[in-house]
Homo-oligomer: A and B are copies of this chain.
């Protein structure tokens, strides 16, 4: 441990204040819009959330830079600009609670008909009493069983549902599911599930994973929830299944995105669309702050950083 404090820049005054207690770390506020006077000393630079900054502009003159910390899980737009010897870290985990929460919100709002009741409310109309749908007793399939998939499953657990998890490969279960099924079992599992929540990463294999065949295997009245990425689902095939009234969908992500004003997804019955709001909530702030704290401590103590997604100058970067 060096006697010189590790200089960390954060893009937010509140973060700087809350990290002020870190021993052996000097936290400076830098929004990255103009060079910082302490730039040459900065070892860890935290990027603003939802930024349009280019990494190549940011790192100019940061002569001591060891790592750049993002506040998003996505890092593709920064990957090519990481200087040699610098690490790029993403914010995997920071948005899990918010995204998993939205998966439940979309599921419950769809099944319990909140959009229809909100429309009736706008007309001052008290809808007549009749037996409606519920989430309880439904068979829920979580497609993608990494950290967010588990966060989704844990939130579904107390709702008296049946839970099935599907990941790229079959493996033993955990405290939430007896068994994790492999993706090769998806075609035989789909007909047995009333709710399918998609939370796979957008790999080449995941693109178009939920295609016309997969949708056709879902039972009548089933609900498809997408909190992953739009291109995982074949939009035209989904439109056909929802237009006929056979399936319902609740989508936080779409293909294309943003959805143009005249896109048929907006007006297809049984489709609820939110504008990619999954992780963009206040819930990210304490979780991002905790990650920055751990990263600053690791750098200070000479331990490896978390969430390293690119090593600048390494093969392929």
Contact = CB atoms under 8 A, between A and B. Distances in A.
A281 B119 contact: no
Interface string A94-125: 00011001101100110011110111111011
A105 B278 CA distance: 17
A13 interface: no
Given A104-B104, A281-B131, A118 B118 contact: yes
Contact of A131 (B49, B125, B272, B276): B49
Interface string A136-172: 1100000000000000001101111000000000000
Contact of A286 (B128, B137, B159, B261): B137
A114 B115 contact: yes
B286 A135 contact: no
A263 interface: yes
A280 interface: yes
A80 interface: no
A155 B120 CA distance: 27
A258 B262 CA distance: 37
Contact of A275 (B101, B117, B154): B117
B105 A101 contact: no
A74 to B, nearest CB: 13
A205 interface: no
A34 interface: no
Nearest to A125: B261
A315 to B, nearest CB: 34
A272 B121 contact: yes
A281 B114 contact: no
A132 interface: yes
Contacts of A286: 137
A259 interface: yes
A134 to B, nearest CB: 4
A133 interface: yes
Interface in A260-302: 260-263, 266-267, 272-277, 280-286
Contacts of A122: 119, 266
The residue among A104, A105, A276 with the most chain B CB atoms within 10 A of its own CB is: A105
B155 A97 contact: no
The residue among A130, A134, A137 with the most chain B CB atoms within 10 A of its own CB is: A134
Contacts of A127: 275, 277
Given A97-B159, A112-B277, 18 more contacts: A101-B112, A101-B136, A104-B159, A105-B108, A105-B109, A105-B114, A114-B115, A117-B274, A117-B275, A124-B263, A125-B261, A129-B275, A131-B281, A133-B281, A133-B282, A134-B282, A136-B281, A137-B283
